[in-house]
Amino acid sequence: MGITLKQLALEAGVSMATVSLALNGSENVAEKTRKRILKLAHDKNYQPNLVARSLAGGNNYLIGILIDSKAPRVLFRLLAYIEREAGLHGYRIMIGEAHNNVQHLHEIYHTFRQYNVSGVICLAHDYPGQEAELKRLFNNCRNMVYIGRPKLDHASYVSIDRGAAMDQAISHLQSQGYKRIGMVCNAIDYRSTHNRIASLKQIMKERGIDDITPMLFKFDEDVEGGYGNSNLERFIKEKVITGEFDAVMLESDVNAGMLCKLLAKRGISVPRDFGVIGSDNDDICIFCYPELTSIDDAQERQAEEAVKMLLSVIADKKAESIDRHVIVSSKLVIRESTMRNIENNNTLTSK
């Protein structure tokens, strides 16, 4: 059985007000004290009385999460990290799912409001062709934080900077003797794909290459999400067998793992003949053969920043602007799928 707020304050040696501020992410509590209170609340299984707070018109310690029902695995892993981080602050989460439909997400948002949620974290908004609808429905919604920059006039969001990790990936591949490095893209209308291409363009520009077109391979959009052997078989036929590419970066570890499997069936060795880098640093990386090098988007840090930002938004009720922005940097995690020259891998990292 958990302890009460009063008991938690006694255990921590601070006032009940300080405990409440710490659990709500207030910046008026010293960071060292806040972390000590959060750890104690977790260890002592502190459970806020949601019903009492709701009846009193106060914070009921509920956070709504909007997510696409067919989102990639990495977003559901991020959801788990958000749930854990919210729990450290005494919050519970309520999940709402829809697929490729901004209107349905907005309906869920209003359902959240009926349950008096304190705020919402949105993991689903990058829907090509629905930008105007997103702006119409969500432009004035407060107490919201988005994962990835949304196409809104005003928004608080956590964005991902993959530039440095992609630069590391290209440098690593070159150090392993790969010379014809490419990138595979899913449907290019997605903002996340635009950002990856923009990062590659900036990297190549800094390396004296202005045209990145020869480095890109685009999946057929008739295969939902870009998955399926047909796209990868076409890539192998058009780019690998012809010798146009000898290494590639893909947008997901699932696609990267499938590519390794298809290459092996054709007698093409990874990494000896071809280098493969995935993205997301999913748990499946270590179960693939060979183990996958991947770009890690730091989901734990994203969750921490998103919850921290949302609590700040909730607390700042008089703010004229709702715009907040935090950038989380990706990192390269090197494994077997790019290790041609094992003796040269003194900078090998793993998770």
Q: Is residue 93 part of a domain?
A: yes
- The tens digit of pLDDT for each residue in 294-320 reads 999 999 999 999 999 999 888 876 654
| Any domain includes 222 | yes
* 275/236 same-domain check: yes
Domain that includes residue 287, residue range: 163-297+332-344
Residue 167 contacts residue 336 (beta carbons within 8 Å): no
For residues 226 and 98, membership in a common domain is answered with no
In this structure, are strands 324-329 and 331-333 parallel, antiparallel, or unpaired? Answer: unpaired
Note the pLDDT of residue 48. 64
Question: What span, in angstroms and rounded, lies between the C-alpha atoms of 307 and 64?
Answer: 11
Q: What is the CA radius of gyration of the chain?
A: 23
Residue 12: its H or E element: helix 5-12
In this predicted structure, what is the pLDDT of residue 341?
A: 79
Q: Are residues 153 and 233 in the same domain?
A: no
Q: How many CB atoms lie within 10 A of CB 76?
A: 12
State the pLDDT confidence band at 224, using cuts at 50, 70 and 90. very low
User: Is the same domain home to 208 and 225?
Assistant: yes
**Structural domains in the chain (count):** 3
176 and 155, same domain (yes or no)? no
Same domain flag for 34 and 73: no
Q: Looking at residue 204, which CATH number applies to its domain?
A: 3.40.50.2300
Asked whether residue 310 falls in the same domain as residue 187, the answer is no
Question: Closest by alpha carbon to 303, among 108, 31, 26, 76?
Answer: 76
Q: Are residues 292 and 304 both part of a single domain?
A: no
Residue 351 maps to a domain? no
pTM attached to this predicted model: 0.77
Question: Mean pLDDT across the chain, nearest whole number?
Answer: 85
Residues 121 and 257 in one domain: no
Instruction: Band the pLDDT of 188: cuts 50, 70, 90.
Output: low
Q: State whether 293 and 304 are in the same domain.
A: no
Q: What CA–CA distance (Å, rounded) separates 89 from 38?
A: 6
The DSSP 8-state label assigned to residue 144 in this structure reads E
Taking residue 326's Cβ as centre, other Cβ atoms within 10 Å add up to 16
Write the pLDDT tens digit of every residue in 267-298. 999 999 999 999 999 999 999 999 999 999 99
Closest Cα partner for 4 from 33, 58, 41, 54?
Answer: 41
336 and 193 in one domain?
A: yes
Q: Is the pLDDT confidence value at 120 over 90? A: yes
| Residue 57, domain member (yes or no) | yes
Indicate whether 30 belongs to any domain. Answer: yes
In this model, does residue 323 exceed pLDDT 90? no
- Whether residue 345 is predicted with pLDDT greater than 60 in this model: the reply is no
Flag whether 349 is in a domain.
no
152-161 pLDDT, tens digit each: 988 999 999 9
User: Is residue 347's pLDDT more than 90?
Assistant: no
Among 224, 289, 283, residue whose Cα is nearest residue 257: 289
Q: Tell me, yes or no, whether 212 and 340 share the same domain.
A: yes
The region of weakest confidence among 40-49, 90-99, 133-142, 198-207 is 40-49
